[in-house]
Amino acid sequence: MFSPNSLQPRMMLVNRFSCTLKNQSVKIGHCSKVPRNVNMEKLQHGYLFPEIERHELIHIKKYPNANVIDLGIGDTTKPLPTIVTSSMVDFVRGLSTAEGYKGYGPEQGEKALRKAIAHKIYKNLDIKPSEVFVSDGAQCDISRLQLLMGPNLKIAVQDPSFPAYIDSSVIIGHAGKFVDRIGKYENIEYMTCGPQTDFFPDLHTISRPQLIFFCSPNNPTGHAATRKQLQQLVDFAKVNGSIIIYDSAYSAYITDNSPKSIFEIPGAREVAIEVSSFSKFAGFTGVRLGWTVVPEELLYSNGFPVLHDFNRIVCTCFNGASSISQAGGLACLSPEGLNAVQSLVDYYMENARILVNALTSLGLTVYGGKNAPYVWVRFPGSKSWDVFAGILENAHIITIPGSGFGPGGEGYIRISAFGQRDSIIEASERLKYLLYQEGL
């Protein structure tokens, strides 16, 4: 459908850069005798989101007067609630006093915040504060969990899924070789999670992965797994002996009865670790604060508790989340703070509703926008990067090509609802005009 001529195709740019290096036309200085990590050599192209930023910079240089609307990378835009920033300001001021100064804190997080997460986020789920590890964000914890588990494990990921699961798996040594013909790594199990399977994998077709990365609500499709689906996943992991690494970063956006935590499912404490974050529900994308829950019942094959090893990883590789961020996180979980951050969630979900209505009015097949701030739009017969480039060139809107989330995302784009309301309305009008002009 789209065939823009203004932007160089992504692969051509990558290949040209590679050929330049091979031909040694780039000036190279002194080389050490340290070989490059072979796993780094297996990574394909650049990480998705910096790639999007690179395209945006090229576009802005070409159209310096254009009003570019960024609905690509899922970065929050609403100001933090005053109760949260006031708490951090008070804490910072205290650091300049003898009574209020604090140095290193516990690597696992401040006790008050761990307790608040356990009791407020996991109310009635019997999560203990000692099972909660506060961090500088869910994405950082994903890599720490990869380090914890070590290389050479068989892993499975949703397809499509957040690219950090795959890239971190490649770096740690899980992935094997990349097979260009199918666009997949040979040792990673890609669990198809498209509309044909109700966005949940057919577990009867899955082999025996040792680690299963699962995100609900899913990024990018926006689908929240049902209670029945998650029970199937937990039962599968228990029979298979797998560990589920469950990403619940968008759980605050669930509007129906879908579980907000894997630990709502019977048996999950024996097979699952949950990673989450303040980034998307409280606007902490720049403040950086997250957590991971490792239940005491989760054991390795030799019976040793996973919690003890993760505690060692945290103490060895991490000096704890910023005490300033933790003060803000604690304020988020106060009664007033919870009401304030819920208003942020409601704002972004109204944005999603506006986008969904605009796109469905054109007859497009649209998913998401109900339980997550992402809209997943199908463009049958088109390549995702072509659709992305066409929308950028002709409407000055940044989206994310679906194929960047895995082979299962080809033919889709993801549109973020993390924007200011006037930008969302303007983007909706531009998209309706452009896509109507294209004959949809």
Q: Looking at residue 298, what is its pLDDT? A: 98
Six-digit token string for 420? 């200011």
Q: What pLDDT does residue 5 have? A: 41
Answer whether residue 1 shows pLDDT above 60. Answer: no
User: What is 398-436 written as a DSSP string?
Assistant: E-EEGGGG-GGGTTEEEEE--S-HHHHHHHHHHHHHHHH
Buried-exposed string 230-259: b where 16+ CB fall within 10 A, e elsewhere: bbbbbebbeebebbbbbbbbbbbbbeeebb
CB 183 within 8 A of CB 404: no
Report the pLDDT value the prediction gives residue 17, as an integer from 0 to 100. 37
Give the pLDDT band (50/70/90) at residue 28: confident
Task: Say what angle helices 138-149 and 163-172 make with each other, to 10 degrees.
Answer: 30
Q: 């690219």: which residue's tokens?
A: 163
H/E/C letters for each residue in 367-378?
EECCCCCEEEEE
Average pLDDT, the chain: 92
Instruction: Report in angstroms the alpha-carbon separations of 335 from 84, 298, 331, 390.
Output: 12, 32, 9, 45
133, 314 Cβ separation under 8 angstroms = yes
Look at residue 439 and tell me whether its pLDDT is greater than 80: no
Cβ within 8 Å of residue 32, ≥6 positions away? none
Domain ranges of the chain: 10-26+42-75+341-437, 82-336
Q: Give the orientation angle of helix 323-332 with respect to helix 335-360, to 10 degrees.
A: 80
For the ranges 21-25, 159-163, 405-409, the lowest mean pLDDT is seen at 21-25
For residue 370, what are the CA distances in angstroms to 6, 76, 107, 193, 417?
35, 18, 36, 17, 11
Angle between helices 384-395 and 421-437 (to 10 degrees): 110
pLDDT for residue 99: 96
pLDDT, residue 436, reads 78
pLDDT of 27 reads 66
Residue 12, pLDDT > 90, answer no
E-strand ranges in 221-327 read 243-247, 272-277, 290-293
User: Could you say which architecture CATH assigns to the domain 10-26+42-75+341-437?
Assistant: Alpha-Beta Complex (3.90)
- The alpha carbon torsion through 230, 232, 234, 236 (nearest 10 deg) reads -150
Residue located via tokens 């508790």: 305
335-360 and 82-94 helices cross at what angle (nearest 10)? 140
Residue 215 confidence (pLDDT) above 90: yes
CB-based contact 378:411 (threshold 8 Å) = yes
Distance from C-alpha of 55 to C-alpha of 264, rounded to nearest angstrom: 41
**Over 70: is that where the pLDDT of 24 sits?**
no
Question: Residue 29 and residue 25: Cα distance in Å, rounded?
Answer: 12
Tokens representing 181 are 């013909």
437: pLDDT confidence band, cut at 50, 70 and 90? Answer: confident
Per-residue pLDDT at 334: 98
Q: What is the pLDDT of residue 440?
A: 52
Has residue 16 got a pLDDT over 50?
no
Write out pLDDT tens, residues 296-320: 999 999 999 999 999 999 999 999 9
Residue 14 predicted with pLDDT over 50: no
Specify which residues 246 forms β-bridges with: 214, 274
Q: Could you say which architecture CATH assigns to the domain 82-336?
A: 3-Layer(aba) Sandwich (3.40)
Q: CB within 8 A of 264, min separation 6: which ones?
A: 125, 227, 230
